[in-house]
Structure 1
Amino acid sequence: MSTLILIPARMASTRLPGKPLADISGVPMIVHVARRAADAGLGRVVVATDTQSVAEAVHGHGFEAVMTRIDHESGSDRIHEALVALDPQRKVETIVNVQGDLPTIDPGIIAASLRPLEDRAVDIATLGVEIVREEEKTNSNVVKIIGSPLSATRLRALYFTRATAPWGEGPLYHHVGLYAYRRAALERFVALKPSPLERRERLEQLRALEAGMRIDAEIVQSLPLGVDTPEDLERARTILSN
């Protein structure tokens, strides 16, 4: 499959304004993400941004960037606009959406996100990691996957929630917000209106499930650090300085 990795980046973060350009070991955070994405070896890597300074920083480190509108409500809308601009001849079959605030992400798990798409019935693929810290099981900021096991490393997603679920004995899985879309699935997804459960849980991926789309999750061992706060940024600086 012809694969395009898109990294949405916007400056208007509420908890950490300007975070795509946050300095980590002398390099903007968004460039660290682009390097990790390139190391996955899947194909072309492009940053989709609404800010000229981000595009200039990305270009300055040898990566591609494409400008997108400032009024997108979600990263999915941003990457769809970027896809249309970058591939008008529709040669790209698969789009991987890597969040721009994952500077420590293991390139291997980016590559692993494509595995569920080997099943033609799967519309969207994503990642999960087993939760091992007890406090994360009840943390509403940790999104959980409720899914039906297909193998030791694969779930068919039935629901995503901020609650502690499913109930009973067995593992809980932390959802990693990285997605691999078939092109037709991305186009269908962005054409849908926000769904009731999406609005209630504040989880965009529920829109796809409510529309009958299939999402499978590959279970991986590495949980990337999402940088949302100044404390997260300091952790990322410590990790990458070592």
Structure 2
Amino acid sequence: MSFIVIIPARAASTRLPDKPLLDIAGKPMVVRTALQAAKSQATRVIVATDDKQIQAAVQSHGFEALLTRSGHPTGTDRLAEVAARLGLDGDDVIVNVQGDEPLIDPEQINAVAALLAGQPDAAIATCASPIVQAETLFNPNAVKVVCDQRRRALYFSRAPIPWARDALADGSQQLAPGLPALHHIGLYAYRAGFLKKFPSLPVGPLERFESLEQLRAMENGYSIAVYVTHTHPAAGVDTPADLARVREVFTNRL
């Protein structure tokens, strides 16, 4: 199995300005993420950014960094630019690791890459874990996915899916026993050929309403394989509280 990791990173963030460059135990967050990704079986780890300061910081720590166009509407569009510039073959596997995940598990990176490599009729592979708390099921910020018997995604939603009709008939918010509810984990592996097509795919109503870009692939007929793990990864860094939590983890490690 051969694959590369691309880490999209942009400076713009409303809650945490210059987020990729924020210090975590002596290194920028995006570098901490790259160091974790490098523990996987990836043959190459590249940071894709539209910011020269991020590029310089990454390169100063020995990692590749490509300066991409600004204005990409999604991280996937940024990956598509990199895939085209690298001249990758259509079946080459690229794993997208978000730049704000310095605690990402390298084994989950390996798992999604292996899943996609082993399923040539899928364009994308991603991760999910079983939902064990009702709060997660009903939280619109926690994306859910339902799968078929082959563990191919049928739909992603911010709504509580699947809906347990009988258990929820009284209006309560509870987790029905045995409900096959899955919490989507935003880790993706793509075939390079699909990535090159992605920017030209039309945005459909499901993506617009749910605000979930993976639905663009499904609305245009592409299949997504889902790797189910019982270990949900540590959350990424979106808020000052998240940053403090991650800094504490690294301080304790060191």
Please, what TM-score do these two structures have when normalized by structure 1?
A: 0.93
Change (3 A) 1:91 1:158: closer
In the other structure, the counterpart of 1:167 is 163
1:231 to 241, 245, 253: 241
Q: Deviations over 1:194-235 (max 9, x none)?
A: 221101000000000011100011012232311111111111
Specify the code of the residue in structure 2 equivalent to 1:189.
Answer: F
Check whether the contact 2:90–2:194 (CA below 8 A) recurs between aligned residues.
Answer: no
**How many corresponding residue pairs?**
237
Written as runs of structure 1 = structure 2, the 5 A alignment for 1:16-35 is 16-35=16-35
In the other structure, the counterpart of 2:107 is 108
Say yes or no: does 1:213 pair with 2:222.
yes
Check whether the contact 1:109–1:222 (CA below 8 A) recurs between aligned residues.
Answer: no
Measure the CA separation in 1 of the matches of 2:29 and 2:45. Answer: 15
Say yes or no: does 1:188 pair with 2:188.
no
Say yes or no: does 1:9 pair with 2:18.
no
How far is the alpha carbon of 1:115 from its aligned partner?
2.8
Comparing 13-22 with 47-56, which one deviates more in the overlay?
Answer: 13-22
Check whether the contact 2:92–2:192 (CA below 8 A) recurs between aligned residues.
Answer: yes
How far is the alpha carbon of 1:60 from its aligned partner?
1.1
Check whether the contact 1:116–1:122 (CA below 8 A) recurs between aligned residues.
Answer: no
Change (3 A) 1:167 1:228: same
In the other structure, the counterpart of 1:81 is 81
Specify the code of the residue in structure 1 equivalent to 2:12.
Answer: A
Check whether the contact 2:88–2:192 (CA below 8 A) recurs between aligned residues.
Answer: no
Change (3 A) 1:78 1:194: same
In the other structure, the counterpart of 2:125 is 125
Aligned alpha-carbon RMSD (Å): 1.5
Specify the code of the residue in structure 2 equivalent to 1:45.
Answer: V
1:222 to 232, 235, 241: 232
Structure 1: which 5+ residue stretches go unaligned?
Answer: none
Say yes or no: does 1:240 pair with 2:239.
no
In the other structure, the counterpart of 1:94 is 93
Q: Deviations over 1:17-40 (max 9, x none)?
A: 211011111111100110111101
Measure the CA separation in 2 of the matches of 1:204 and 1:72. Answer: 13
Specify the code of the residue in structure 1 equivalent to 2:112.
Answer: S
Secondary structure (helix, strand or coil) at the match of 2:30 reads helix
Measure the CA separation in 2 of the matches of 1:91 and 1:175. Answer: 26
Say yes or no: does 1:177 pair with 2:186.
yes
Check whether the contact 2:152–2:224 (CA below 8 A) recurs between aligned residues.
Answer: yes
Measure the CA separation in 2 of the matches of 1:19 and 1:92. Answer: 33
Specify the code of the residue in structure 2 equivalent to 1:218.
Answer: Y
Measure the CA separation in 1 of the matches of 2:248 and 2:43. Answer: 29
Check whether the contact 1:129–1:223 (CA below 8 A) recurs between aligned residues.
Answer: no
Check whether the contact 2:83–2:192 (CA below 8 A) recurs between aligned residues.
Answer: no
Say yes or no: does 1:156 pair with 2:147.
no
Comparing 91-100 with 192-201, which one deviates more in the overlay?
Answer: 91-100
In the other structure, the counterpart of 1:198 is 207
How far is the alpha carbon of 1:134 from its aligned partner?
2.8
Specify the code of the residue in structure 2 equivalent to 1:225.
Answer: A
Tell which structure's C-alpha radius of gyration is larger. 2
In the other structure, the counterpart of 1:71 is 71
Check whether the contact 1:2–1:91 (CA below 8 A) recurs between aligned residues.
Answer: no
Report percent identity of matched pairs: 48
Secondary structure (helix, strand or coil) at the match of 1:109 reads helix
In the other structure, the counterpart of 2:173 is none
Secondary structure (helix, strand or coil) at the match of 2:159 reads coil
Please, what TM-score do these two structures have when normalized by structure 2?
A: 0.89
How far is the alpha carbon of 1:91 from its aligned partner?
8.2
Specify the code of the residue in structure 2 equivalent to 1:181.
Answer: Y
Runs of 4+ in 1 over 6 A off after TM superposition: none
